[in-house]
């Protein structure tokens, strides 16, 4: 996560992407659903056995009937990779659905032991406690860091800027900031885009009697309604220049003027704004006021995209399935594996829609068939990744280390685009990078 809340409480408080990272494991499927979401970090240069008596995730988590007492051995090296070796288990050890005797695994790989499926990922070397939250579901380090940021900023009175892609849950984060603020007023929201300036101004600041034809009485706006509470300005990146000026005065002076009024009024509303647009870049082009950005960016919370916390997908999917079905639903192993193969450009909102369709298609209490992802309209189709300045399109030969490094730089470290360029899967790309001694984040 970048541009996150600035903190000075040591390594544990630094943004997750800026801390040293180690390999970790997340339970993404289990015959006992209560164990799904359990995580553990492994550290470096660690050797351990996985089996029914292992307490890696806590007592009895791996005590599953199809797991052998001594099932597999995991050797973690200095790099973000590990070697898994089957120890003559009764039902075999699987990596990405293929039975193996010995294999190298890294971030994104799925390790199968009996009825348990583990996802390999990277964890901060100094992590926050595993998060447990009634509304923000997940156990990933990325979510733990987000919850820590919310806890830090919620009690303050300063404005907060919530950044994140469409569908990540920015409004839910704003609600949690308000919930933790201790403010007695309510949270009220306004979408800053798609409505004319005159309507927005009246909606936000209210109007005086006689301000325009039909205004036979004064009407309070959302700023007054949010007094003592929180005013949530959604999609502030779409605010017009006129609205930006009005918001700047509200932030600077704590004052606003209702439409048609001859005097200003004081406001006690705390401002939380959100957008999916890159405001810092809009400031550079003049599309967004720098002084307004500086007021809002004192406290910035960035919500991670779902692809950066895929280990949370099974927990979210189970919760969505229960909500849509009105009862608990089981998720088959193949269904979970299908969920984890997607990159979720629409984030949590897209996942919710997929689960809703899967529940509608289900014939019992288990989700087995993953609905096909809808094809984007032709005009919205993503452009083909730009070829590497060195290697061009992948033609079948394995790329050299230099070609991999060039491609990472060309795509800003986006491994999905690099994999698309070379015509391979993400897991294959990670293996090539490990074997070439290249850090996947070196191109960022």
- List pLDDT tens digits, range 131-159: 777 788 998 989 999 999 999 999 999 99
Q: Cα dist. 152→160, 256, 297 in Å? A: 11, 28, 15
51 close to 67: Cβ distance less than 8 angstroms: yes
In this prediction, residue 444 carries a pLDDT of 57
Strand, helix or coil for residue 106: coil
Residue 42 vs residues 123, 126, 219, 307, 434: alpha-carbon distances, Å? 9, 12, 59, 21, 18
Q: What is the pLDDT of residue 214?
A: 60
Q: What is the pLDDT of residue 134?
A: 78
Three-state SS at 127 = coil
- The answer for residues whose C-beta is within 8 angstroms of residue 294's C-beta and 6 or more apart is none
254-300 tens-digit pLDDT: 887 777 667 778 888 999 999 999 888 899 999 999 999 999 988 99
pLDDT tens column, 174-202: 999 999 999 999 999 989 886 777 778 77
Intervals of the chain under pLDDT 70: 1-19, 126-130, 194, 207-218, 260-261, 374-397, 420, 423, 427, 441-444
* DSSP single-letter state for residue 382: P
Give me the pLDDT at residue 210, please: 53
Tokens of 299: 């406290």
pLDDT at 143: 92
Query: Which pLDDT belongs to residue 442?
Result: 62
Terminal-residue alpha carbon distance, the chain:
12
Please give the biggest Cα pair distance in the chain: 85
**What is residue 378's predicted lDDT score, i.e. its pLDDT?**
60
Give pLDDT, residue 92: 95
CATH topology classification for 141-302: Rossmann fold (3.40.50)
> Which pLDDT belongs to residue 399?
80
Return the CATH number of the domain spanning residue range 20-124.
2.60.200.20
Cα–Cα distance measured from residue 352 to residue 372, given in angstroms and rounded to the nearest whole number: 14
Instruction: Provide the pLDDT for residue 293.
Output: 94
Residue 70, judged by CB atoms within 10 A of its CB (0-12, 13-18, 19+), counts as middle
- DSSP states along 182-231: ---S-EEEEE-SSS-HHHHHHHHH-B-TTSSTT--S-B--HHHHTTTSEE
Class for the domain spanning 308-374: mainly alpha
Nearest-5° angle of CA 436, CA 440, CA 441?
140
Quick one: pLDDT at residue 173? 96
């Amino acid at each position: 996560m970048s541009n996150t809340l600035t903190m000075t409480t040591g390594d544990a408080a630094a943004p997750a992407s800026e801390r040293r990272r180690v390999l970790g494991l997340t339970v993404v499927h289990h015959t006992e659903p209560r164990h799904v979401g359990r995580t553990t970090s492994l550290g470096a240069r660690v050797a351990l056995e996985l089996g029914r008596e292992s307490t890696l995730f806590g007592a009895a988590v791996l005590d599953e009937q199809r797991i052998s007492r001594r099932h597999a051995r995991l050797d973690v090296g200095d790099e973000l990779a590990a070697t898994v070796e089957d120890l003559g288990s009764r039902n075999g050890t699987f990596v990405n659905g293929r039975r193996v005797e010995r294999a190298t695994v890294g971030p994104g790989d799925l390790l199968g032991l009996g009825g348990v499926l583990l996802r390999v990922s990277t964890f901060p070397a100094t992590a926050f406690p595993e998060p447990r939250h009634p509304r923000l579901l997940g156990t990933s380090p990325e979510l733990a860091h987000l919850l820590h940021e919310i806890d830090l900023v919620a009690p303050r009175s300063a404005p907060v800027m919530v950044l994140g892609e469409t569908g990540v849950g920015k409004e839910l984060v704003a609600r949690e900031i308000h919930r933790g603020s201790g403010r007695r007023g309510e949270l009220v929201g306004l979408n800053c885009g798609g409505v004319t300036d005159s309507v927005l101004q009246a909606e936000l600041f209210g109007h005086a009697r006689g301000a325009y034809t039909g205004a036979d009485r004064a009407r309070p706006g959302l700023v007054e309604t949010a007094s003592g509470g929180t005013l949530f300005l959604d999609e502030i990146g779409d605010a017009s220049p006129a609205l930006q000026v009005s918001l700047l005065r509200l932030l600077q002076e704590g004052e606003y003027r209702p439409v048609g009024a001859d005097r200003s009024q004081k406001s006690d509303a705390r401002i939380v704004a959100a957008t999916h647009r890159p405001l810092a870049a809009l400031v550079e082009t003049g599309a967004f006021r720098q002084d307004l950005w500086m007021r809002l960016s004192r406290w910035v919370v960035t919500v991670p995209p779902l692809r950066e916390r895929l280990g949370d997908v099974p927990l979210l999917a189970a919760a969505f399935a229960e909500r849509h079905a009105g009862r608990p639903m089981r998720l088959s192993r193949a269904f979970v594996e299908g969920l984890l193969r997607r990159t979720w450009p629409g984030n949590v909102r897209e996942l919710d829609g997929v689960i809703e369709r899967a529940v509608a298609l289900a014939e019992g209490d288990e989700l087995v068939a993953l609905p096909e992802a809808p094809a984007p309209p032709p005009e919205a189709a993503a452009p083909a990744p730009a070829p590497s300045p060195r290697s061009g399109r992948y033609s079948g030969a394995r790329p050299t280390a230099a070609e991999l490094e060039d491609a990472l730089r060309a795509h800003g470290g986006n491994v999905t685009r690099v994999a698309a360029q070379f015509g391979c899967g993400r897991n294959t790309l990670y293996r090539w990078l490990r074997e070439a001694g290249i850090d996947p984040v070196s191109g960022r």
